[in-house]
């Protein structure tokens, strides 16, 4: 057994099912070991997509997603997707297959310092050398899953990959010992609830990793609190609940902020400011109780009345035991706000616009369907408009916010959950970046409809230029041409109105493989008014 075989056996034991990447000479020993295992090497069109897919797998399963690249340009391509796992808190292993050990310090073709490259984007960067491979991989697997989860880089020289294997690394625990501050946190919250009259609860990215979801909902209902979420927090508290008041920082953000600005206390549970800083959506000086596995960074005009890293699940369980405290919110006020908010998200239009397509998509997809979506104007619209009560049914990148995420994430989701409906929404700009991944979907027969919201613009940048009263420049993609019959063998249909879109979506959902629907929408649907 060589070190490549050892690595693959350790990945199997950890529950890894796929390694995403692109072959090269230094990668071939690892691919050969994978060929003889239960872990599938999955060929992508770019290393960036490989890392996006690994990040999505890590988020959906809790088992580190794994991606692999060659030296130099393969490694630099990989970093964009690894950055997604870093700022979106997904467990991931990024393996760079390097030149042979004697060449590591030489200035030669393609070689760069991989450790300096990955240092700002990972929890650790391990050099694999003959004799320490098992130990390094054991540490990496554990570290990737420790709170907060994230990517770990391993650099594997070609001669080390082929050398005789040493002993497997000892299994390391993925758990971290966070302090039990539950009594302290509950005392702080009770005191704040008694002092302030309009408390508001917010959840976010950290809450997606909590196991005490029902306990937090119990706390909300006992205290009769309205709650808002971030983009990543969607679905982890039911959005059909009468106390749900919207998503902060997205489409019609001013409507949500007008509501949240009425709060005199923010109870933040599992809220990670990596998504949106407190200063961007709260009133200056408003009291904030921050309950999370990490303390929030102090900022200008932030009034953090409690802010200590703690075991989140224990803290939530303690909150659920706080006796009810009266406040000044009324259910009628919350319901009226939500009704006005939903109307504002759907302005009247004579043309086919994004919110119409999204409503049809929500209607035709099952409740447990997974929607992956890219970065652009539609990101804001989906975050505010889409409603779900099911966790992990929306895949997006918020901390990293890189275009090109949507399609790889959707295809990864279908690998993880082949029994569930999966759909993808991308803008025409993001589609251009990752259209080559349709070849992967065709090859693997992944039944995922890719809905391209095609308006001929980089829509979000167009809106931002209009808001700043800049002339439009650098954002025009040109008049969309007619849809082709297929992309890379994946069938395509056009839709120019809601009726055609409904028919095309029904067609796509009936197929046993991937499809593309080009929805030719009016860019004016993404008006500055909608994004105020």
The domain segmentation of the chain, as residue ranges, is 3-162, 182-340, 347-525
Element containing residue 394 per DSSP (H, E): strand 394-395
| Whole-number average pLDDT of the chain | 94
Nearest to 528 by CA among 267, 347, 296: 347
Q: Is 523 left (phi over 0), alpha (psi -120 to 50) or beta?
A: alpha
Average pLDDT over residues 293-314: 94
- 3-162, superfamily in CATH? Thiamin diphosphate (ThDP)-binding fold, Pyr/PP domains (3.40.50.970)
Average pLDDT over residues 159-173: 81
Average pLDDT over residues 363-380: 96
Cα separation, 141 vs 65, whole angstroms: 10
Query: Does the predicted TM-score (pTM) go above 0.75?
Result: yes
pLDDT higher at 131 or 106: 131
pLDDT at 95: 98
102 and 91 Cβ atoms separated by less than 8 Å:
no
pLDDT at 100: 75
The answer to whether the 3-162 and 182-340 domains have the same CATH topology is yes
The CA-based angle 383-481-404, given to 5 degrees, is 35
pLDDT at 175: 66
Cα separation, 169 vs 7, whole angstroms: 10
Q: What is the pLDDT of residues 114-124, one digit of tens each?
A: 999 999 999 99
pLDDT at 414: 98
Q: What sign has the CA pseudo-torsion 205, 244, 227, 281? A: positive
pLDDT at 230: 98
N-to-C CA span, the chain: 60
DSSP-H helix ranges across 209-320: 213-223, 253-260, 312-319
pLDDT at 461: 86
Cα separation, 147 vs 91, whole angstroms: 10
- Quick check: 170 pLDDT over 80? no
pLDDT at 109: 62
- The pLDDT-based confidence of 477 (bands split at 50, 70, 90) is confident
Question: May I ask the CATH class of domain 182-340?
Answer: alpha beta
Q: What is the DSSP string of 194-235?
A: HH-S-EEEEE-GGGGG-S-HHHHHHHHHHHT--EEE-STTBT
Distance set, CA 161 to CA 1, 124, 469 (Å): 11, 20, 56
Q: What is the pLDDT of residues 2-50, one digit of tens each?
A: 999 999 999 999 999 999 999 999 999 999 999 999 999 999 999 999 9
φ, ψ (nearest 5 deg) of residue 476: -90, 115
pLDDT higher at 499 or 300: 499
- The pLDDT-based confidence of 528 (bands split at 50, 70, 90) is low
Cα separation, 446 vs 323, whole angstroms: 50
In CATH, 347-525 is 3.40.50.970 = yes
Q: What is the pLDDT of residues 49-72, one digit of tens each?
A: 999 999 999 999 999 999 999 999
pLDDT at 173: 64
Q: What is the pLDDT of residues 98-108, one digit of tens each?
A: 877 776 676 76
Nearest to 289 by CA among 271, 311, 313, 277: 271
Beta strand pairing status for 486-487 and 490-495? antiparallel
Packed helices 377-385 and 459-467: angle between N→C axes, nearest 10 degrees = 90
pLDDT at 324: 98
pLDDT at 171: 64
Average pLDDT over residues 222-250: 97
Q: What is the pLDDT of residues 439-460, one digit of tens each?
A: 999 999 999 999 999 998 788 8
Cα separation, 525 vs 377, whole angstroms: 10
- Quick check: 323 pLDDT over 90? yes
Q: What is the pLDDT of residues 195-204, one digit of tens each?
A: 999 999 999 9
Average pLDDT over residues 325-352: 95
- The pLDDT-based confidence of 110 (bands split at 50, 70, 90) is low
How does DSSP classify residue 65?
Answer: E
Beta strand pairing status for 244-247 and 227-229? parallel
Cα separation, 260 vs 226, whole angstroms: 9
Q: How many CB atoms lie within 10 A of CB 373?
A: 30
Q: What is the pLDDT of residues 419-430, one digit of tens each?
A: 999 999 999 999
Q: What is the DSSP string of 426-476?
A: EEHHHHHHHGGGHHHHHHHT---EEEEEE-SB-HHHHHHHHHTTPPP-S-B
């Amino acid at each position: 057994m060589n070190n490549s075989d050892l690595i693959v056996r350790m990945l199997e034991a950890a529950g890894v099912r796929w390694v995403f990447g692109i072959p090269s000479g230094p990668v071939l020993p690892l691919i050969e070991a994978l060929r003889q295992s239960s872990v599938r090497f999955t060929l992508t069109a770019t290393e960036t997509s490989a890392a996006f897919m690994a990040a999505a797998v890590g988020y959906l399963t809790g088992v580190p997603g794994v991606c692999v690249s060659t030296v130099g340009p393969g490694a630099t391509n990989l970093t964009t997707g690894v950055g997604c796992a870093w700022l979106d808190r997904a467990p991931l292993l990024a393996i760079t297959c390097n030149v042979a050990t004697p060449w590591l310090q030489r200035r030669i073709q393609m070689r760069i310092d991989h450790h300096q490259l990955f240092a700002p984007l990972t929890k650790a960067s391990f050099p694999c050398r003959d004799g320490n491979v098992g130990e390094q991989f054991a540490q990496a697997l554990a570290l990737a899953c420790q709170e907060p989860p994230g990517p770990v880089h391993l650099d594997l020289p070609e001669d080390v990959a082929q050398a005789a294997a040493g002993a497997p690394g000892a299994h390391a625990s993925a758990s971290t010992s966070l302090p039990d501050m539950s009594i302290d946190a509950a005392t702080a919250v009770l005191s704040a609830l008694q002092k302030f009259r309009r408390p508001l609860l917010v959840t976010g990215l950290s809450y997606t990793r909590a196991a005490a979801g029902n306990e937090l909902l119990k706390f909300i209902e006992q205290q009769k609190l309205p709650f808002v979420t971030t983009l990543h927090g969607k679905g982890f508290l039911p959005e059909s609940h009468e106390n749900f008041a919207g998503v902060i920082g997205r489409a019609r953000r001013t409507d949500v902020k007008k509501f949240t600005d009425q709060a005199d206390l923010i109870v933040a549970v599992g809220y990670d400011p990596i998504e949106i800083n407190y200063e961007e959506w709260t009133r200056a000086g408003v009291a904030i109780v921050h309950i999370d596995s990490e303390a929030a960074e102090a900022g200008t005009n932030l009034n953090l009345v409690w802010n200590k890293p703690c075991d989140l699940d224990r803290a939530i369980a303690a909150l659920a035991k706080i006796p009810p405290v009266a406040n000044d919110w009324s259910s009628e006020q919350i319901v009226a706000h939500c009704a006005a908010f939903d109307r504002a998200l759907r302005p009247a239009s004579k043309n086919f616009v994004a919110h119409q397509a999204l409503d049809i998509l929500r209607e035709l997809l099952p409740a447990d369907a997974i929607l992956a979506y890219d970065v652009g104007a539609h990101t804001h619209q989906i975050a505010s408009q889409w409603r779900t009560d099911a966790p992990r049914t929306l895949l997006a990148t918020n901390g990293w916010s890189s275009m090109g995420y949507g399609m790889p994430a959707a295809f990864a989701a279908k690998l993880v959950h082949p029994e569930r409906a999966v759909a993808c929404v991308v803008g025409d700009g993001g589609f251009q970046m990752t259209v080559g991944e349709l070849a992967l979907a065709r090859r693997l027969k992944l039944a995922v409809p890719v809905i391209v919201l095609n308006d001929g613009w980089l829509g979000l940048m167009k809106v931002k230029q209009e808001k700043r009263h800049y002339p439009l420049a650098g954002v025009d993609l040109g008049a969309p041409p007619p849809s082709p019959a297929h992309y890379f063998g994946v069938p395509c249909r056009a839709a120019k109105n809601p009726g055609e879109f409904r028919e095309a979506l029904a067609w796509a959902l009936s197929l046993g493989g991937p499809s593309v629907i080009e929805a030719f929408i009016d860019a004016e649907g993404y008006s500055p008014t909608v994004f105020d």
